[in-house]
Homo-oligomer: A and B are copies of this chain.
């Protein structure tokens, strides 16, 4: 075996509609978002992060959060998630009947101030407000520790800081943790070590990894995460999303490339790759530009070509 412990199933959380679309130069029309989510729902993905219940002023591209959340056709096997920054966002998520909300704070104080315009303590105070609101409801809550693998302003992030953030989340009742490599700084060794350590700190706590392919290491980091026991990953159709500090760099790891790698390696994802590629094929028209996914350009590895005919004597 290539791993000591091969995963039985990998769970993929599709984030393009939220994490990708929020930074697109053009607003993606509501009906196109809904059509995309509905198409994604039929591919076998475990989760889809469909929008963010933030202020429309903060992220105008997601100003149609309610319309999207209410008009999609829910598939019973898919968990529908939204990002929520505060209690008001939590109310909106409850009103829309989401399955899960995702609360995000950076391990890096500097990044949290830049990204959320709050100190980490202020973020945690907001989250406590959300938890008070959702207590007793069916809404699941996961907490994301952004910049867990490095901060573009501060540099390295001490694992103890990641642990502190996760402890705060769990103490207030969140049921799952995402460790995010927000700007693509993670390397495979670091991923292996942090995932192993996380599993020792928090045995049994569901863990999701969120990687970017900014420096080409995205799928290698997935492999390192898998080898250390992680089985749940965020990914984005076409590799949408990205880092404002690296123009020209790729964004989130690409869902179809991830599924292709895992299924080729014999690791089930539950996703119908052909169907997913069909959805991905329409993405450049939706966003109005080329996207970074490789399998869409090159075809699956199983797609063969006719052998060139050779002249006589050759």
- Collect the chain B residues with CB atoms within 8 Å of residue A246's CB: 297-299
Q: In the complex, A140→B215 CA distance in Å?
A: 35
Q: In the complex, A152→B264 CA distance in Å?
A: 15
Given contacts A215-B301, A216-B254, A216-B261, contact A114 B308 (CB under 8 A): yes
Q: Are B261 and A188 in contact (CB under 8 A)?
A: yes
- Collect the chain B residues with CB atoms within 8 Å of residue A308's CB: 114
A171 located at the interface, meaning its Cβ lies under 8 Å from any Cβ of chain B in the complex: no
Question: Contact residue range for chain A?
Answer: 35 or more
Among A27-35, A87-95, A222-230, the stretch in contact with B: A222-230
A46 located at the interface, meaning its Cβ lies under 8 Å from any Cβ of chain B in the complex: no
- Per-residue interface assignment for chain A, residues 45 to 66, with 1 indicating a CB less than 8 Å from any chain B CB and 0 otherwise: 0000000000000000000000
Minimal beta-carbon separation of A273 from chain B (angstroms): 12
Q: Are B261 and A217 in contact (CB under 8 A)?
A: yes
A306 located at the interface, meaning its Cβ lies under 8 Å from any Cβ of chain B in the complex: yes
Q: Are B2 and A224 in contact (CB under 8 A)?
A: yes
Given contacts A155-B304, A294-B214, contact A189 B314 (CB under 8 A): no
A170 located at the interface, meaning its Cβ lies under 8 Å from any Cβ of chain B in the complex: no
Q: Are B213 and A305 in contact (CB under 8 A)?
A: no
- Determine which residue in A152, A215, A245, A294 has the highest number of CB atoms from chain B within 10 A of its CB, and name it: A215
Q: In the complex, A237→B150 CA distance in Å?
A: 26
Q: In the complex, A305→B220 CA distance in Å?
A: 25
Copy total for this chain: 2
Q: Are B189 and A2 in contact (CB under 8 A)?
A: yes
Q: In the complex, A83→B190 CA distance in Å?
A: 37
- Per-residue interface assignment for chain A, residues 229 to 263, with 1 indicating a CB less than 8 Å from any chain B CB and 0 otherwise: 00000000000000101111110001001001100
Q: Are B257 and A215 in contact (CB under 8 A)?
A: yes
Minimal beta-carbon separation of A172 from chain B (angstroms): 24
- Per-residue interface assignment for chain A, residues 160 to 188, with 1 indicating a CB less than 8 Å from any chain B CB and 0 otherwise: 00000000000000000000000011011
Q: Are B249 and A2 in contact (CB under 8 A)?
A: no
Q: Are A153 and B305 in contact (CB under 8 A)?
A: yes
Minimal beta-carbon separation of A55 from chain B (angstroms): 14
Residue in B closest to A222 when the chains form the complex, CB atoms: B220
A8 located at the interface, meaning its Cβ lies under 8 Å from any Cβ of chain B in the complex: no
* A interface, CB within 8 angstroms of B: 1-2, 110-111, 113-114, 117-118, 150, 152-155, 184-185, 187-193, 196, 213-217, 219-220, 222-224, 227-228, 243, 245-250, 254, 257, 260-261, 264-267, 293-295, 297-302, 304-308, 310, 314
- 25 residue pairs bridging A and B, Cβ less than 8 Å apart: A1-B192, A2-B188, A110-B307, A114-B307, A114-B308, A114-B310, A117-B314, A118-B314, A154-B304, A184-B301, A188-B261, A189-B264, A189-B265, A189-B267, A214-B298, A215-B261, A215-B300, A216-B293, A216-B294, A217-B257, A217-B261, A219-B220, A223-B223, A246-B298, A247-B297
